Amino acid sequence: MALNNLFKINLPYGLYVLQDGRIAFFNREYQPLGYGERYLSGKEQREIFNRIAIDVPKLTIDRIRKILDESELKTSFKLHDDADYKYQAHFYFDGDNPVNTEKASHYKEYFKILKEITKYQVKK
């Protein structure tokens, strides 16, 4: 697997906030992290995202928005509002993809987002 595929498949491109408030990270292929060699059907994706989603009570919608708004990368946070996912957040866009740019600052900003998103305690 090439290094860019490692990044694309195993690191978060964004997250879904499920209808019940739990979050699930997705990769650049909009698949659960680690998936990408074989595309999952929509039903398979929903089942996996529901199984792996985590409850992070202090990572509120407002905190996610604030983290993304403070980034120098182009990010988005939008209402998704379907039967499974309430919100969808993207940590970068194609022009800011750390793998596709020579700007070291893009990696720094990307990992800054991940650091902020993952510093909250998961509810057991």
pLDDT over threshold 60, residue 1: no
Nearest to 72 by CA among 112, 100, 16: 112
- The CA distance from 56 to 39, in Å, is 28
| pLDDT per position as a tens digit, 46-85 | 999 999 999 999 999 999 999 999 999 999 999 987 888 9
Report yes or no on 42 lying in a domain: yes
The domain tally of the chain equals 1
Report yes or no on 72 lying in a domain: yes
Q: Which range of residues forms the domain containing residue 42?
A: 9-117
Q: What is the structure's pLDDT at 41?
A: 86
What helix, strand, coil percent values describe the chain, rounded to 5?
Answer: 40, 15, 45
Percent of the residues in the chain that have a pLDDT greater than 90, as a whole number: 65
Report yes or no on 123 lying in a domain: no
Report yes or no on 22 lying in a domain: yes
